[in-house]
Amino acid sequence: MPTVKDGVFTDIGYNIPKNGEAEIETNWEWLYGKLEPGTYKITKTVLDSGASSEGDNLNRYTVSAQFLIAG
């Protein structure tokens, strides 16, 4: 997505309970403006800290979700 202005934000870590789920609301209108109706996809990298006892050797997973903004 093209941005409406330059922006920087802090990438905060969130804990997700084992075998659980998390819902995190984020407002990007300040960066992208109002999204037009259409289909979009967001992609995030998830670090699995419970999968390793090696400190920085965390398993990383890329997860994506597609969503629709109806018009």
Look at residue 27 in the predicted model and tell me its pLDDT: 85
Reduced to 3 states (helix: H, G, I; strand: E, B; else coil), residue 31 is helix
> Over the stretch 9-62, which tens digit does the pLDDT of each residue have?
777 778 888 888 888 888 888 888 998 999 999 888 888 776 555 556 778 889
- Residue 60 backbone dihedrals phi, psi, to 5 degrees: -115, 135
Q: How does 2-15 read in b/e, with b if 16+ C-beta sit within 10 Å? A: eeeeeeeeeeeeee
Look at residue 51 in the predicted model and tell me its pLDDT: 56
Rounded Cα–Cα distance for residues 17 and 35 (Å): 31
Look at residue 4 in the predicted model and tell me its pLDDT: 83
Look at residue 40 in the predicted model and tell me its pLDDT: 93
Q: Is the pLDDT of residue 1 over 80?
A: no
Look at residue 58 in the predicted model and tell me its pLDDT: 77
Rounded Cα–Cα distance for residues 15 and 44 (Å): 14
Rounded Cα–Cα distance for residues 31 and 4 (Å): 6
